[in-house]
Amino acid sequence: MSSRLAARERRAAWQFLAPCMAALTLVALWPLGRTLYFSLTDATLDDPANFDLIGLQNYIDIATDPDWWNAVGNTLFFTAVSVAIETVFGLGVALLLNTAIPGRGVLRAAILIPWSIPVVVSAKIWQWMLHDQFGILNRILIDLGLVEHGIAWVAEPGLVMWVVIFVDVWITTPFMVLLILAGLQMIPAEIHEAALVDGVPWWKRFWSITLPMLRPAIGVAVLFRALDAVRMFDLSYILAGNGVRTMTISIYARNQLFGVQEVGLGSAASTWVFFLVGIVAVIIIATVRIDKRSAG
């Protein structure tokens, strides 16, 4: 290719990229820069025009706040447990849907319903179903004679985190199913048949063939879900409000910004959230080596 042709193609590439980059600058880069800048100030919400630069003081304040570390713990616990359960369930359902069972098409569509409902609506539905006096779950448990009084699912300190995890699993397992099912369908049937003819038992076929070949698909699914889970806000906030047991780092950042009205502190907390999401992403990508294709 001549250098003039190459230059023309480069110019065309930039022209195509320009609108996208302008939009990203406007909606992502600029707010991010603002947040970073405010995190170094003592700005407040009632008078945001009047502030001083105070260096890294906000970051230090947050790092020494036990509430912050409680929120970090909650978030990491929620992420690890919910994503783990969703992966196992998702894999199980995907394997089931990948076999030729009757009514598979209907099942595949039906399973998407929880995923298609807005999280706020799902959370509200579950809140009602789990209500200590009027909830259907307690009704069933009482009618079955398993409990005498309704259980206050979201008010019980030992239970509330598990309720949040349960609802999250209910909502997002379909997402896992879809991604893993797509991965399963990429595996050529002849590979399974070769193993079948070779007399490889089913557990060995699953463990040594299906699972390794699914690794990229599972890796991507876990990455997406984990990044979502680390910045989870709505589910906890609706089910348990500002409860200390379920406070995530996003709720913490929101509280600093709007509750305490400290723009500087809130921005610093948001930046911490940003870093944490980044760290989790790096760890997952490094562990599952998504970039290295295992199925090639």
Stretch that binds another protein, among 119-127, 145-153, 187-195, 265-273 (CB under 8 A): 187-195
The phi-psi region of residue 2 (left if phi > 0; otherwise alpha if psi is between -120 and 50; otherwise beta) is beta
The CB-of-226 to another protein minimum distance in angstroms stands at 23
- Binding residue for another protein, selected from 204, 244, 282, 283, defined by CB under 8 A: 204
The Cα 164–Cα 148 span in angstroms is 24
Chosen residue from 36, 95, 119, 200 binding another protein by CB under 8 A = 200
The angle subtended at Cα 232 by Cα 160 and Cα 111, nearest 5°, is 85
Assess 294 for contact with another protein (CB under 8 A). yes
Q: Which of 55, 145, 158, 296 binds another protein (CB under 8 A)?
A: 296
N-term to C-term CA, the chain: 30
In the chain, % helix, strand, coil (3-state, to 5) comes to 75, 0, 25
For residue 289, give both structure tokens: 């080596």
| Shortest Å, Cβ 188 to another protein | 6
197 to 166, 186, 200: CA distances (angstroms): 41, 20, 8
Q: Which is nearer to another protein, 143 or 190 (CB)?
A: 190
Least CB distance to another protein at residue 215 (A): 8
Q: Provide, rounded to whole angstroms, the least separation between the CB of residue 201 and another protein.
A: 6
- Which one of residues 55, 103, 158, 201 is an interface residue with another protein (CB under 8 A)? 201
How many angstroms separate the Cα of 81 from the Cα of each of 51, 126, 167, 219, 220?
A: 41, 19, 12, 16, 17
For another protein, the binding residues in 205-224 under the rule CB under 8 A are: 208-209, 212-213
Q: Which of 193, 242, 259, 275 binds another protein (CB under 8 A)?
A: 193
Q: How far is the CB of 207 from another protein (least distance, A)?
A: 11
**Beta-ladder partners of 41:** 53
Tell me the per-residue interface mask from 73 to 102 with another protein, x by CB under 8 A, - otherwise: ------------------------------
Minimum separation from the CB atom of position 187 to another protein (A): 9
Size of the site for another protein (CB under 8 A): 20
If the CB atoms of residues 4 and 293 are measured against another protein, the closer one turns out to be 293
Burial 165-202 (b: 16+ CB within 10 A, else e): bbbbbbbbbbbbbbbbbebbeebeeeeeeebeeeeeee
Length of the chain: 296
**Measured from the CB of residue 224, what is the shortest distance to another protein in angstroms?**
23
CB of 221 closer than 8 Å to CB of 175: yes
What type of residue sits at position 286?
A
Give 91 or 226: the residue with its C-beta nearer to another protein.
91
Q: Which residue has the tokens 């989790």?
A: 280
Tokens representing 137? Answer: 């779950």
Of 48, 73, 118, 188, the one binding another protein by CB under 8 A: 188
What residues make contact with another protein under the rule CB under 8 A? 188, 190-191, 193-201, 204, 208-209, 212-213, 294-296
